[in-house]
Copies of this chain bind each other. A is one copy, B any other.
Amino acid sequence: MGAAERDALEGIERLRQRPAKFRDARITMAHGAGGKATRTLVEGLLAPLLGIAELSDAASVGELALTTDSYVVRPLRFPGGSIGELAVNGTVNDLAMAGARPLALTLSLILEEGLASSELQAEIEAAARAARAAGVAIVGGDTKVVERGSCDSMYLTTTGLGRRDPRAHLSPNSLQPGDRILVSGTIGDHGTAVMLARGQFELLADVESDTRPLWAAVDALLDVPNLGLRCLRDATRGGVATVLNELAAASGVAIVVRETNVPVRPAVAAACEILGLDAMYMANEGTFIAVVAPDSYAEALAALRPLPGCENAAEIGEVKADPRGMVVVETGFGGRRVMDMLVGDPLPRIC
Protein backbone atom coordinates (compact mmCIF):
# COMPACT_ATOMS: atom_id res chain seq x y z
CA MET A 1 0.00 0.00 0.00
CA GLY A 2 1.42 3.40 -0.94
CA ALA A 3 1.77 6.32 1.45
CA ALA A 4 -1.05 8.27 -0.23
CA GLU A 5 -3.44 5.32 -0.05
CA ARG A 6 -2.54 4.78 3.60
CA ASP A 7 -3.07 8.47 4.44
CA ALA A 8 -6.48 8.43 2.75
CA LEU A 9 -7.56 5.27 4.59
CA GLU A 10 -6.36 6.61 7.91
CA GLY A 11 -8.24 9.85 7.32
CA ILE A 12 -11.42 7.81 6.81
CA GLU A 13 -10.58 5.79 9.91
CA ARG A 14 -10.20 8.90 12.10
CA LEU A 15 -13.72 9.90 11.09
CA ARG A 16 -15.03 6.41 11.80
CA GLN A 17 -13.46 6.28 15.25
CA ARG A 18 -15.46 9.26 16.47
CA PRO A 19 -18.18 8.34 18.95
CA ALA A 20 -21.38 7.59 17.05
CA LYS A 21 -24.00 10.31 17.34
CA PHE A 22 -27.63 9.38 16.90
CA ARG A 23 -29.43 12.13 14.99
CA ASP A 24 -32.25 10.37 13.14
CA ALA A 25 -35.71 11.75 13.82
CA ARG A 26 -37.42 8.43 13.14
CA ILE A 27 -36.62 4.73 13.38
CA THR A 28 -36.04 3.04 10.02
CA MET A 29 -35.62 -0.60 9.06
CA ALA A 30 -31.86 0.01 8.86
CA HIS A 31 -31.78 0.55 12.65
CA GLY A 32 -32.66 -3.11 13.04
CA ALA A 33 -30.37 -4.49 10.34
CA GLY A 34 -27.29 -4.95 12.50
CA GLY A 35 -25.05 -2.63 10.47
CA LYS A 36 -24.00 1.00 10.77
CA ALA A 37 -27.41 2.41 11.67
CA THR A 38 -27.86 -0.18 14.43
CA ARG A 39 -24.43 0.68 15.78
CA THR A 40 -25.27 4.38 15.78
CA LEU A 41 -28.58 3.75 17.58
CA VAL A 42 -26.97 1.50 20.18
CA GLU A 43 -23.75 3.45 20.74
CA GLY A 44 -25.25 6.89 20.25
CA LEU A 45 -28.52 6.54 22.18
CA LEU A 46 -29.37 3.27 23.93
CA ALA A 47 -26.10 2.33 25.62
CA PRO A 48 -25.33 5.83 27.00
CA LEU A 49 -28.88 6.27 28.36
CA LEU A 50 -28.82 2.83 29.98
CA GLY A 51 -25.28 3.25 31.27
CA ILE A 52 -23.99 0.21 29.39
CA ALA A 53 -20.25 0.70 28.95
CA GLU A 54 -19.22 -2.41 27.04
CA LEU A 55 -21.24 -3.85 24.18
CA SER A 56 -20.92 -7.57 23.59
CA ASP A 57 -22.94 -10.64 22.70
CA ALA A 58 -23.56 -11.31 26.37
CA ALA A 59 -23.22 -9.15 29.46
CA SER A 60 -21.19 -10.23 32.48
CA VAL A 61 -22.80 -10.55 35.89
CA GLY A 62 -19.93 -11.88 37.97
CA GLU A 63 -19.06 -15.27 36.47
CA LEU A 64 -22.46 -15.41 34.80
CA ALA A 65 -23.36 -14.23 31.31
CA LEU A 66 -26.76 -12.84 30.34
CA THR A 67 -27.99 -12.16 26.81
CA THR A 68 -31.33 -11.39 25.18
CA ASP A 69 -32.66 -11.24 21.63
CA SER A 70 -36.03 -10.70 20.01
CA TYR A 71 -36.91 -12.68 16.89
CA VAL A 72 -39.17 -11.25 14.21
CA VAL A 73 -38.05 -13.31 11.19
CA ARG A 74 -40.45 -13.86 8.35
CA PRO A 75 -41.58 -16.19 7.04
CA LEU A 76 -41.92 -18.07 10.33
CA ARG A 77 -40.61 -21.22 8.65
CA PHE A 78 -37.85 -21.42 6.05
CA PRO A 79 -35.68 -24.22 4.67
CA GLY A 80 -33.55 -25.54 7.51
CA GLY A 81 -35.37 -23.91 10.39
CA SER A 82 -38.10 -21.74 11.87
CA ILE A 83 -38.52 -18.89 14.33
CA GLY A 84 -38.83 -21.18 17.38
CA GLU A 85 -35.59 -22.99 16.61
CA LEU A 86 -33.83 -19.74 15.69
CA ALA A 87 -34.87 -18.07 18.94
CA VAL A 88 -33.21 -20.82 20.97
CA ASN A 89 -30.08 -21.25 18.85
CA GLY A 90 -29.48 -17.53 18.46
CA THR A 91 -29.47 -16.92 22.19
CA VAL A 92 -27.51 -20.06 23.02
CA ASN A 93 -24.94 -18.87 20.47
CA ASP A 94 -24.64 -15.40 21.99
CA LEU A 95 -23.67 -17.13 25.23
CA ALA A 96 -21.28 -19.50 23.44
CA MET A 97 -19.57 -16.58 21.67
CA ALA A 98 -18.96 -15.03 25.09
CA GLY A 99 -17.31 -18.28 26.19
CA ALA A 100 -20.27 -19.08 28.42
CA ARG A 101 -21.86 -22.50 28.79
CA PRO A 102 -25.65 -22.15 28.53
CA LEU A 103 -27.47 -22.82 31.81
CA ALA A 104 -31.07 -21.76 31.20
CA LEU A 105 -33.33 -19.90 28.78
CA THR A 106 -36.55 -17.94 29.08
CA LEU A 107 -39.03 -17.49 26.23
CA SER A 108 -41.46 -14.59 25.98
CA LEU A 109 -44.20 -14.58 23.35
CA ILE A 110 -46.03 -11.71 21.68
CA LEU A 111 -48.88 -13.29 19.73
CA GLU A 112 -51.30 -11.80 17.22
CA GLU A 113 -54.99 -12.28 17.96
CA GLY A 114 -56.29 -14.88 15.51
CA LEU A 115 -53.01 -16.79 15.22
CA ALA A 116 -53.72 -20.47 14.55
CA SER A 117 -52.93 -22.47 17.67
CA SER A 118 -51.29 -25.10 15.46
CA GLU A 119 -48.73 -22.51 14.31
CA LEU A 120 -47.98 -21.59 17.91
CA GLN A 121 -47.71 -25.24 18.87
CA ALA A 122 -45.32 -25.95 15.98
CA GLU A 123 -42.97 -23.16 17.07
CA ILE A 124 -43.08 -24.07 20.75
CA GLU A 125 -42.23 -27.64 19.76
CA ALA A 126 -39.39 -26.33 17.57
CA ALA A 127 -38.06 -24.26 20.48
CA ALA A 128 -38.30 -27.23 22.84
CA ARG A 129 -36.46 -29.51 20.37
CA ALA A 130 -33.74 -26.91 19.82
CA ALA A 131 -33.31 -26.47 23.57
CA ARG A 132 -32.94 -30.22 24.05
CA ALA A 133 -30.41 -30.37 21.20
CA ALA A 134 -28.45 -27.53 22.81
CA GLY A 135 -28.60 -29.21 26.20
CA VAL A 136 -30.32 -26.29 27.90
CA ALA A 137 -33.70 -25.96 29.63
CA ILE A 138 -36.35 -23.34 28.93
CA VAL A 139 -37.25 -22.50 32.52
CA GLY A 140 -39.86 -19.80 32.20
CA GLY A 141 -41.75 -17.47 29.94
CA ASP A 142 -44.53 -15.02 29.34
CA THR A 143 -47.39 -14.63 26.87
CA LYS A 144 -48.92 -11.42 25.61
CA VAL A 145 -51.58 -11.12 22.91
CA VAL A 146 -52.08 -8.00 20.78
CA GLU A 147 -54.94 -7.18 18.43
CA ARG A 148 -55.05 -8.44 14.88
CA GLY A 149 -52.77 -6.23 12.81
CA SER A 150 -50.58 -5.16 15.76
CA CYS A 151 -48.02 -7.97 15.27
CA ASP A 152 -47.01 -10.24 12.39
CA SER A 153 -48.20 -13.68 13.71
CA MET A 154 -45.70 -13.96 16.53
CA TYR A 155 -42.57 -12.38 17.93
CA LEU A 156 -40.35 -14.33 20.31
CA THR A 157 -37.83 -13.05 22.81
CA THR A 158 -35.37 -15.44 24.39
CA THR A 159 -32.94 -14.65 27.17
CA GLY A 160 -30.02 -16.89 28.00
CA LEU A 161 -28.18 -17.33 31.27
CA GLY A 162 -24.76 -18.94 31.07
CA ARG A 163 -21.67 -19.54 33.15
CA ARG A 164 -18.40 -18.21 31.80
CA ASP A 165 -15.98 -21.02 31.10
CA PRO A 166 -12.70 -20.49 32.94
CA ARG A 167 -10.80 -21.67 29.82
CA ALA A 168 -12.12 -18.70 27.83
CA HIS A 169 -10.29 -15.36 27.80
CA LEU A 170 -12.05 -13.65 24.96
CA SER A 171 -12.18 -9.99 24.03
CA PRO A 172 -12.86 -8.06 20.81
CA ASN A 173 -10.01 -5.75 21.89
CA SER A 174 -7.38 -8.48 21.96
CA LEU A 175 -6.56 -8.96 18.26
CA GLN A 176 -2.84 -8.65 17.43
CA PRO A 177 -1.02 -8.42 14.10
CA GLY A 178 -0.30 -11.90 12.81
CA ASP A 179 -3.46 -13.47 14.33
CA ARG A 180 -5.45 -15.59 11.92
CA ILE A 181 -9.13 -15.20 11.06
CA LEU A 182 -11.10 -18.44 10.94
CA VAL A 183 -14.68 -19.02 9.84
CA SER A 184 -16.47 -22.10 11.15
CA GLY A 185 -18.35 -22.96 7.96
CA THR A 186 -19.89 -21.71 4.73
CA ILE A 187 -21.22 -18.17 4.90
CA GLY A 188 -24.51 -16.60 3.85
CA ASP A 189 -26.67 -19.71 4.12
CA HIS A 190 -29.25 -18.33 6.56
CA GLY A 191 -29.80 -15.00 4.83
CA THR A 192 -30.06 -16.65 1.45
CA ALA A 193 -32.45 -19.35 2.66
CA VAL A 194 -34.78 -16.80 4.27
CA MET A 195 -34.63 -14.48 1.25
CA LEU A 196 -35.50 -17.30 -1.12
CA ALA A 197 -38.27 -18.56 1.19
CA ARG A 198 -40.04 -15.22 0.75
CA GLY A 199 -40.53 -16.09 -2.89
CA GLN A 200 -40.18 -12.46 -3.98
CA PHE A 201 -37.45 -13.23 -6.48
CA GLU A 202 -38.89 -16.29 -8.24
CA LEU A 203 -35.55 -17.91 -7.67
CA LEU A 204 -35.32 -21.55 -6.64
CA ALA A 205 -32.20 -22.91 -5.03
CA ASP A 206 -31.52 -25.66 -2.56
CA VAL A 207 -30.20 -23.54 0.31
CA GLU A 208 -30.92 -24.25 3.98
CA SER A 209 -30.40 -22.01 6.99
CA ASP A 210 -27.35 -22.88 9.05
CA THR A 211 -29.22 -22.38 12.33
CA ARG A 212 -27.60 -24.62 14.95
CA PRO A 213 -26.27 -24.36 18.51
CA LEU A 214 -22.57 -23.52 18.70
CA TRP A 215 -21.55 -24.35 22.26
CA ALA A 216 -20.13 -27.76 21.23
CA ALA A 217 -17.85 -26.09 18.68
CA VAL A 218 -16.73 -23.50 21.22
CA ASP A 219 -16.15 -26.24 23.79
CA ALA A 220 -13.95 -28.08 21.25
CA LEU A 221 -11.88 -24.94 20.63
CA LEU A 222 -11.49 -24.23 24.35
CA ASP A 223 -10.20 -27.79 24.79
CA VAL A 224 -7.21 -27.21 22.50
CA PRO A 225 -4.25 -26.44 24.78
CA ASN A 226 -2.52 -23.09 24.25
CA LEU A 227 -4.72 -22.15 21.34
CA GLY A 228 -4.39 -18.42 21.83
CA LEU A 229 -8.11 -17.91 21.11
CA ARG A 230 -8.65 -14.13 21.05
CA CYS A 231 -12.29 -13.70 20.23
CA LEU A 232 -15.42 -15.43 18.91
CA ARG A 233 -18.30 -13.78 17.06
CA ASP A 234 -21.26 -15.35 15.32
CA ALA A 235 -21.83 -13.57 12.04
CA THR A 236 -25.57 -12.89 12.31
CA ARG A 237 -27.18 -9.62 11.11
CA GLY A 238 -24.65 -7.71 9.01
CA GLY A 239 -22.75 -10.90 8.21
CA VAL A 240 -19.02 -11.63 8.28
CA ALA A 241 -18.18 -8.17 6.90
CA THR A 242 -19.82 -6.38 9.83
CA VAL A 243 -18.27 -8.66 12.46
CA LEU A 244 -14.78 -8.19 11.05
CA ASN A 245 -15.24 -4.41 10.97
CA GLU A 246 -16.36 -4.42 14.61
CA LEU A 247 -13.32 -6.46 15.64
CA ALA A 248 -10.88 -4.33 13.62
CA ALA A 249 -12.31 -1.17 15.18
CA ALA A 250 -12.35 -2.60 18.71
CA SER A 251 -8.72 -3.77 18.54
CA GLY A 252 -7.38 -0.88 16.44
CA VAL A 253 -5.96 -3.26 13.86
CA ALA A 254 -6.49 -4.07 10.18
CA ILE A 255 -7.95 -7.32 8.92
CA VAL A 256 -7.05 -8.68 5.51
CA VAL A 257 -9.44 -11.27 4.09
CA ARG A 258 -8.42 -13.55 1.22
CA GLU A 259 -11.65 -13.82 -0.73
CA THR A 260 -10.79 -17.12 -2.41
CA ASN A 261 -10.42 -18.79 1.01
CA VAL A 262 -13.92 -17.87 2.16
CA PRO A 263 -16.22 -20.89 1.92
CA VAL A 264 -19.48 -20.09 0.10
CA ARG A 265 -21.87 -22.72 -1.24
CA PRO A 266 -22.26 -22.48 -5.02
CA ALA A 267 -26.04 -22.01 -4.69
CA VAL A 268 -25.52 -19.14 -2.23
CA ALA A 269 -22.89 -17.54 -4.45
CA ALA A 270 -25.18 -17.85 -7.48
CA ALA A 271 -28.23 -16.41 -5.69
CA CYS A 272 -26.18 -13.47 -4.36
CA GLU A 273 -24.67 -12.84 -7.80
CA ILE A 274 -28.06 -12.77 -9.50
CA LEU A 275 -29.53 -10.42 -6.90
CA GLY A 276 -26.50 -8.16 -6.59
CA LEU A 277 -25.90 -9.12 -2.95
CA ASP A 278 -22.62 -10.01 -1.26
CA ALA A 279 -22.45 -13.18 0.85
CA MET A 280 -20.06 -11.34 3.18
CA TYR A 281 -23.05 -9.25 4.37
CA MET A 282 -25.58 -12.07 4.51
CA ALA A 283 -26.72 -13.27 7.93
CA ASN A 284 -25.54 -16.56 9.40
CA GLU A 285 -27.14 -18.33 12.35
CA GLY A 286 -24.69 -21.13 13.03
CA THR A 287 -21.42 -19.87 11.60
CA PHE A 288 -18.87 -17.89 13.55
CA ILE A 289 -15.60 -16.05 13.26
CA ALA A 290 -12.74 -17.13 15.53
CA VAL A 291 -9.52 -15.17 15.83
CA VAL A 292 -6.52 -17.25 16.96
CA ALA A 293 -2.81 -16.74 17.54
CA PRO A 294 -0.61 -17.15 14.43
CA ASP A 295 0.81 -20.58 15.20
CA SER A 296 -2.31 -22.42 16.17
CA TYR A 297 -4.86 -22.00 13.41
CA ALA A 298 -4.25 -25.47 11.97
CA GLU A 299 -5.02 -27.03 15.36
CA ALA A 300 -8.14 -24.92 15.67
CA LEU A 301 -9.37 -26.03 12.25
CA ALA A 302 -8.60 -29.64 13.15
CA ALA A 303 -10.70 -29.29 16.30
CA LEU A 304 -13.62 -27.74 14.41
CA ARG A 305 -13.89 -29.78 11.23
CA PRO A 306 -15.15 -33.06 12.77
CA LEU A 307 -18.18 -31.19 14.17
CA PRO A 308 -21.51 -30.97 12.33
CA GLY A 309 -21.74 -27.64 10.53
CA CYS A 310 -18.00 -27.01 10.80
CA GLU A 311 -16.85 -29.36 8.02
CA ASN A 312 -15.94 -26.37 5.86
CA ALA A 313 -14.12 -24.40 8.56
CA ALA A 314 -11.37 -22.35 6.96
CA GLU A 315 -8.65 -19.81 7.61
CA ILE A 316 -9.78 -16.76 5.64
CA GLY A 317 -7.39 -13.99 6.60
CA GLU A 318 -4.97 -12.32 8.90
CA VAL A 319 -4.69 -9.42 11.33
CA LYS A 320 -2.33 -6.61 10.28
CA ALA A 321 -1.22 -3.45 12.03
CA ASP A 322 -2.39 -1.07 9.26
CA PRO A 323 -4.63 0.47 8.07
CA ARG A 324 -6.06 0.59 11.61
CA GLY A 325 -9.73 -0.24 12.01
CA MET A 326 -10.18 -1.29 8.39
CA VAL A 327 -11.07 -4.55 6.70
CA VAL A 328 -9.44 -5.11 3.31
CA VAL A 329 -10.39 -7.91 0.93
CA GLU A 330 -7.82 -9.41 -1.43
CA THR A 331 -9.74 -10.67 -4.41
CA GLY A 332 -8.90 -13.74 -6.47
CA PHE A 333 -7.59 -11.46 -9.20
CA GLY A 334 -4.98 -9.84 -7.00
CA GLY A 335 -7.04 -6.70 -6.35
CA ARG A 336 -7.77 -5.10 -2.97
CA ARG A 337 -10.89 -3.35 -1.77
CA VAL A 338 -12.09 -1.95 1.51
CA MET A 339 -15.01 -3.93 2.98
CA ASP A 340 -17.09 -1.66 5.22
CA MET A 341 -19.88 -2.50 7.69
CA LEU A 342 -23.36 -3.17 6.38
CA VAL A 343 -25.15 0.03 5.40
CA GLY A 344 -28.95 0.12 5.03
CA ASP A 345 -31.07 -3.01 5.24
CA PRO A 346 -31.04 -5.13 2.10
CA LEU A 347 -32.88 -8.00 3.82
CA PRO A 348 -35.20 -6.92 6.60
CA ARG A 349 -36.35 -9.26 9.36
CA ILE A 350 -33.79 -11.95 8.81
CA CYS A 351 -33.89 -13.10 12.44
Contact = CB atoms under 8 A, between A and B. Distances in A.
B349 A70 contact: no
A117 B56 CA distance: 23
Interface stretch (A13-21, A118-126, A216-224, A311-319): A118-126
A104 B49 contact: no
A154 B127 CA distance: 24
Given A68-B142, A145-B32, A146-B72, A49 B111 contact: no
Interface stretch (A155-163, A239-247, A297-305): A155-163
A112 interface: yes
Contacts of A159: 66, 68, 106, 108, 157, 159
Interface stretch (A1-9, A40-48, A259-267, A323-331): A40-48
B27 A145 contact: yes
Nearest to A142: B69
Given A61-B161, A107-B50, A159-B106, A124 B45 contact: yes
Contacts of A275: none
Interface string A339-351: 0000000001100
A138 B50 contact: yes
B128 A70 contact: no
Interface string A193-206: 00000000000000
Contacts of A113: 27-29
- How many copies of this chain? 2
Contacts of A108: 68-70, 157, 159
Contact of A106 (B56, B67, B131, B145): B67
Contacts of A152: 146, 150-151
Contacts of A115: 26-27
Interface in A85-119: 103-104, 106-118
A346 to B, nearest CB: 14
A183 to B, nearest CB: 23
A133 interface: no
A140 interface: yes
A137 B104 CA distance: 20
A117 B22 contact: yes
Given A32-B111, A110-B72, A66 B138 contact: no
A51 interface: yes
27 contacts: A25-B117, A27-B112, A27-B117, A27-B120, A29-B113, A29-B145, A31-B111, A32-B145, A45-B121, A49-B121, A49-B125, A50-B107, A50-B138, A51-B137, A52-B139, A52-B140, A58-B140, A59-B139, A61-B161, A66-B104, A66-B161, A68-B142, A70-B108, A110-B110, A146-B152, A147-B348, A151-B152
Given A70-B157, A146-B155, 8 more contacts: A49-B125, A50-B138, A51-B137, A61-B139, A66-B139, A106-B159, A144-B349, A147-B349
